[in-house]
Each structure stands twice: as structure tokens, then as C-alpha cells.
Amino acid sequence: MPKLNRGAAVLRRSGLAGIAVTVFCGAGLLIAQGLGQAEDRYQHADYLASLALLNKGTQDAPTNFLIGRNYFMLGDWKQATAFLQKASEQQPANSEYMDWLGRVYGKRAATGNVLMAAGFAAKARDCFERAVELNPKNSDAVSDLFDYYLNAPGFMGGGYEKAVAISNRMAVIDPPEGYSEKAKLAQRRKEYAAAEANLRRAVAARPGEVGHLLALAKFLAEQGRTQESDEAFCSAEKLAPNAPRVWYERAGVLIQQKRELNEARSLLQKYLGAAITPDDPPKQEAMRLLKQAGGA
């Protein structure tokens, strides 16, 4: 009898096979439960608590992905790179993992040593392109690639025409987001009437989503159309009265315009005391704005 088969026979005769399966399944269940709890902490922006629930030495790709995202949100780019890279290597066909790896390389290009910026930027571009190749319908990856092409200089692989091509893809995948990207393209060329028209199309296409309305409010403020901006912010607050993002964005505009600073400080204090998500700006940014507004 071959050695492996003989070992299996011993397990069957002794009853150890059933115990082994039970232990294995139980361990898998515990990992899944721990990951679920850690994901819940992450979604509540409690990144340190999420990390405390996770095994840093794991070979489990979803766990490494969550660890990487936690470090990303904490601004620890090196650790985020290590774990997101590990997750991507473990599941190389996962578009979401590749997109997040591109994001952290982008952060390192923007915030790190200037001599290394070009190398990190190239890695970010490669990851975004690969993420879109892996899943052309991954709207987050398409959006990240659009932003890269629009903002990166030509020698780093950016370019306006490349951004236009990607925005056309987005228009098919997610029409409201496609309008938003068309607005950014128009703003880049100082075609403000076209930018506004596309922002309003985005709002109309998804009237229940506050994000596009906030983008319109900020655009109107930048154009010096204060009353219209205020009206858009009021509409956003009515649509989502308890959304911390509305308070943050409104405060940011008030501080930028150097008006109603008491209101801005009050909004930021509310934001700092609110439960936020990874989609909201970090509370460190709210604290920075609060200091800028003369708050404690």
C-alpha cells in the first residue's frame, strides 16, 4: 500500500479522520468569524481594532487584503504595500486586490521620496491597468485609472486623451459616474458650462445619491456662486440629514471662503463625534480643517 494511502487508512480505522475534518472545518469557521468581525470594525473606521483581530502571519488572501486596507487607512504605506502585495500574489486574478495595490503605490508616489516617485507612479499605473484588464466592469478600478491618466504627466504615462477613453468606458459601466468624469475633463479645459451640465446630469441620473450633489455644491462654490452652492448643500442635507460627509464638505467650503467659521467649526465638531466609514474623509483631515478654522 502506498505510504499516503496507508496513512489515510490508519486515520479511517482510528476515527481520527473525522476529528481532523472537524478541527479543520472549525478552524475555518473561526477564521471566517474573525475576519467578519474585523471587517465590521474596518467598516466603522476602527482600523486599529480591526488589525488587532487579524493574524499578520496568515496565508489567507482575504485576511491579508483587509490588513493591507487597514494600514492604508492608517497612512502606513509600507505595511499596506506589503500586505496588499501579498494578497495580490495569492490571488493574482483578483481585480479589487490589484486596484488597492495601485492605490498604495499612488500614495507612495505622492508622499514619498521624490527620487522614487516615478517608480511608484509607474507601479500604480500598471496595477490600475491590470485591475481594469482583469475586470473591465470594476468601476472603482476604472475610476482610479481615469484619475491617474488625467492627473499624471505624460512622461509617467498620463494623458488627457487616455482619460477621455477611460471616461467613455465609465459612461457604459456607471452612467452617473461617467458624467462626473466628463465634468472633470471639462474643468481641466476650463469649459465650466460643460462641467456644470455634466455634474447636473450626474445628480439627475442618481437623485438619491448625495455624493454627486456635493460635487455640484463644491463646483458652484469654486465658481463664486455662493448662494447656489448653499442651496445645493441644503438639498444634500435634506437628502441625507445624518451623513457626516455632508457636514465635512460644507465646512470645507465655508473655511475656504472664510465665512461663517462658527458654523464650520460646529459642523466639524459634529463630524469628529460621528461614526464614519472608510468612504468618509479621515478624522485627521477634519481636525486639520478645524485648526484652520481656529478651533481647538
Domain boundary among 48, 71, 92: 92
| Whole-angstrom distance, CA of residue 152 vs CA of residue 172 | 24
Q: Is residue 129 part of a domain?
A: no
Domain boundary among 43, 77, 92: 92
Task: Output the pLDDT for position 80.
Answer: 98
Task: Output the pLDDT for position 10.
Answer: 38
DSSP the chain: --HHHHHHHHHHHHTHHHHHHHHHHHHHHHHHHHHHHHHHHHHTT-HHHHHHTS-TT---HHHHHHHHHHHHHTT-HHHHHHHHHHHHHHSTT-HHHHHHHHHHHHHHHHHS-HHHHHHHHHHHHHHHHHHHHH-TT-HHHHHHHHHHHHHS-GGGT--HHHHHHHHHHHHHH-HHHHHHHHHHHHHHTT-HHHHHHHHHHHHHHSTT-HHHHHHHHHHHHHTT-HHHHHHHHHHHHHHSTT-HHHHHHHHHHHHHHT--HHHHHHHHHHHHTS---TTSPPHHHHHHHHHHTT--
DSSP 151-168: HS-GGGT--HHHHHHHHH
- Decide: 35 and 67 in contact? Cβ < 8 Å: no
| Whole-angstrom distance, CA of residue 260 vs CA of residue 103 | 35
Q: Is residue 68 part of a domain?
A: yes
Task: Output the pLDDT for position 161.
Answer: 96
| Whole-angstrom distance, CA of residue 212 vs CA of residue 201 | 9
> What is the reported pTM?
0.85
CATH number of the domain at 43, please: 1.25.40.10
Task: Output the pLDDT for position 1.
Answer: 39
Q: Is residue 43 part of a domain?
A: yes
What domain range is 44 assigned to? 20-92
Q: What is the pLDDT along the chain (296 residues), one digit of tens a residue?
A: 344 444 444 334 445 444 444 434 454 554 566 899 999 999 999 999 999 999 999 999 999 999 999 999 999 999 999 999 999 999 999 999 999 999 999 999 999 888 889 999 999 999 999 999 999 999 999 999 999 999 999 999 999 999 999 999 999 999 999 999 999 999 999 999 999 999 999 999 999 889 999 999 999 999 999 999 999 999 999 999 999 999 999 999 999 999 999 999 999 999 999 999 999 999 999 999 999 988 76
Q: Is residue 117 part of a domain?
A: no
Provide the domain count of the chain: 2
Q: Is residue 195 part of a domain?
A: no
| Listed residue (86, 116, 110, 108) closest to 98, CA to CA | 86
Task: Output the pLDDT for position 295.
Answer: 73
Which cell numbers hold the place of 245? 460627509
Q: Is residue 262 part of a domain?
A: yes
Q: Is residue 97 part of a domain?
A: no
Domain boundary among 55, 75, 92: 92
